[in-house]
């Protein structure tokens, strides 16, 4: 293990999926436009199904905007969706449609997910989603996130393979202890 530690503890403001008292909390710092994160998305879905109630997933933003020009807008839209209690619907939609994250596409996804478009526009203009993404970003850097995706397992940066079998094996090994 690297010794890098999650600098911002998981709290009530986080986007979490799974039981609060799960044995394992998996924090993913991700970028909606990053192809590796797209690959990790389906792997994490499989992990959640395989490990059931033992895992809670938390997603935070780490948009690498120098290489992914749509990453910031996509992240802000997901945060705006969260303000309408639809974070995970948007998160999934963005990863499932990663190939097109243009502004026009993002507006379409907002509609698909069932967001109130006027409210999205207002919330984005307020700057709150942007502030949230920036705070996530700084937390990621302070935690030693070293690329996208970066995973933290119960607070420790996970530097192993996040392909399904090795990642599952690692998480299961924690459950046995």
Report the chain's terminal Cα–Cα distance, integer Å.
Answer: 17
Contact map string, positions 45 to 64, toward another protein, x by CB under 8 A: -----------------xxx
65 binds another protein (CB under 8 A): yes
Total site size for another protein, rule CB under 8 A: 21
H or E segment and range at residue 51: helix 35-51
Exactly one of 46, 67, 100, 117 binds another protein (CB under 8 A); that residue is 67
Are 86 and 78 contacting, i.e. CB atoms less than 8 angstroms apart?
A: no
172 binds another protein (CB under 8 A): no
> Rounded CA gap, 153 and 126, in Å?
33
Exactly one of 16, 75, 81, 145 binds another protein (CB under 8 A); that residue is 145
Going by C-alpha positions, the residue among 28, 32, 148 that lies closest to residue 101 is 32
Are 37 and 148 contacting, i.e. CB atoms less than 8 angstroms apart?
A: yes
The least distance separating another protein from the CB of residue 87, rounded to whole angstroms, comes to 22
CA 82-40-60 angle, 5° bins: 35
Exactly one of 121, 141, 174, 175 binds another protein (CB under 8 A); that residue is 141
Contact map string, positions 86 to 125, toward another protein, x by CB under 8 A: ----------------------------------------
CA 91-52-71 angle, 5° bins: 15
Exactly one of 138, 160, 169, 175 binds another protein (CB under 8 A); that residue is 138
| Interface residue list for another protein (CB under 8 A) | 2, 4, 7, 62-67, 137-138, 141-147, 150, 157, 159
């Amino acid at each position: 293990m690297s010794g890098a530690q999650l600098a911002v503890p998981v709290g009530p403001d986080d986007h979490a999926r799974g039981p609060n008292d799960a044995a394992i909390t998996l924090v993913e710092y991700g970028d909606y436009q990053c192809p590796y994160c797209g690959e990790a998305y389906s792997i994490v879905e499989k992990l959640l199904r395989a490990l059931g109630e033992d895992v809670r997933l938390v997603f935070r933003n780490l948009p690498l905007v120098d290489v992914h020009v749509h990453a910031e807008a996509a992240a802000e839209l997901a945060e705006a969706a969260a303000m309408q209690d639809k974070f995970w619907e948007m998160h999934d939609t963005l990863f499932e449609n990663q190939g097109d994250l243009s502004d026009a596409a993002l507006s379409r996804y907002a509609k698909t997910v069932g967001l109130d478009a006027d409210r999205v526009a207002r919330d984005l203009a307020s700057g709150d989603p942007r502030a949230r993404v920036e705070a996530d970003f700084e937390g990621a850097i302070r935690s030693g996130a070293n690329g996208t995706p970066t995973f933290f397992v119960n607070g420790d940066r996970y530097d192993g393979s996040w392909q399904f079998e090795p990642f599952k094996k690692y998480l299961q090994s924690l459950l046995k202890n």
